[in-house]
Amino acid sequence: MTRRRKIYEGKAKILYEGPEPGTLVQHFKDDATAFNNKKHDLIEGKGVLNNRISEYVFTRLGEIGIPTHFLKRVNMREQLVKEVEIIPIEVMIRNVAAGSLAKRLGIEEGTPLPRSIIEFAYKSDELDDPLVTEEHITAFAWATPQEIDDMMAMSLRINDFLSGLFLGIGIKLIDFKIEFGRHFEGEMMRVILADEISPDSCRLWDTATNEKLDKDRFRRDLGGLMDAYQEVARRLGILMENEDQTPRTGPVLVK
């Protein structure tokens, strides 16, 4: 068997060269990091859950017409995606004050925002992903005004759709982070949704109890991260199979 070429290794994922030109294999690791790597741990099985949850969310988003990089899941930890040129901006969409916004503006965590707020951060580990405005993004040519418009329009649709999807399973979508990339097809280029959407990249609170079902369990040393991610997968109705893909006798739910 020939060894695959590793294109990039990040904090939570590895990108390998895909089987066809223009494709990549996105491999989900078990590493949990926060505060840009100052806190690190291995949480067995996290990569498997994020792969499945992100697959589910990207598939649903594709069905409502959001262009995404997702092609298919390859195995429990890996998915085949379209290679893109990542726009070096993290787009954050917030419905309820939490995390850095709550801290920065002195708003109590859990306070609903008057309307959904979009924020941009420049992707840079060395700089701790600093918040930037559209002015910085266009002045430094990280993205064009048209690309910013496309990202914002898609972000709001994604937020509306996912807020409803999660509400239906008793979960509040507090906030989340997404990334976009430029996909080239011949002469054509379009901005599509890339990276992942999982409990690593969202804040998800149980509607009834406000229990945190996301990476804040790790960031804030609350414990029970795997139970929380499994609960999200279970509520989404994601069936888990064995690592070797052989279905068990009948559907087996997580937990």
Which of 93, 181, 225, 230 touches ligand ADP by CB under 6 A?
Answer: 181
- By CB under 6 A, the residues from 185 to 204 that bind ligand AIR are 200-203
- By CB under 6 A, the residues from 69 to 108 that bind ligand AIR are 90, 92, 98-101
Residue 73 tokens, joined: 């899941």
Taking the complex as a whole, the smallest distance from the CB of residue 146 to ligand ADP amounts, in Å, to 20
Q: Is residue 81 part of the contact set for ligand ADP (CB under 6 A)?
A: yes
Question: Of 77 and 215, which has the nearer Cβ to ligand ASP?
Answer: 215
Taking the complex as a whole, the smallest distance from the CB of residue 27 to ligand ADP amounts, in Å, to 9
Q: Which residue has the tokens 């690190």?
A: 40
Rounded Cα–Cα distance for residues 210 and 92 (Å): 21
Question: Of 180 and 205, which has the nearer Cβ to ligand ADP?
Answer: 180
Question: Of 92 and 96, which has the nearer Cβ to ligand ASP?
Answer: 92
Secondary structure (3-state) at 46: helix
- Answer for the pair 190, 205: CB distance below 8 angstroms, yes or no: no
Question: Of 55 and 175, which has the nearer Cβ to ligand AIR?
Answer: 175
Taking the complex as a whole, the smallest distance from the CB of residue 123 to ligand ADP amounts, in Å, to 7
Taking the complex as a whole, the smallest distance from the CB of residue 252 to ligand AIR amounts, in Å, to 29
Phi-psi sector, 119: left (phi>0), alpha (psi -120 to 50), beta: beta
Q: Which residue has the tokens 């054509």?
A: 188
Q: How many helices (H) and strands (E) does the chain have?
A: 6, 14
The DSSP letter of residue 44 is T
User: Please, what sign has the CA dihedral across residues 35, 37, 39, 45?
Assistant: positive
Q: Which residue has the tokens 């030109």?
A: 21
Q: Which does 35 bind (CB under 5 to 8 A by kind): ligand ADP, ligand ASP, ligand AIR, none?
A: ligand ASP
Question: Of 26 and 147, which has the nearer Cβ to ligand ASP?
Answer: 26
Q: Which residue has the tokens 């990276």?
A: 195
User: Please, what sign has the CA dihedral across residues 92, 165, 82, 186?
Assistant: negative
Interface residues with ligand AIR (CB under 6 A) are 90, 92, 98-101, 175-177, 200-203, 215
Interface residues with ligand ADP (CB under 6 A) are 8, 10-13, 15, 24, 69, 81-84, 86, 179, 181, 194-195
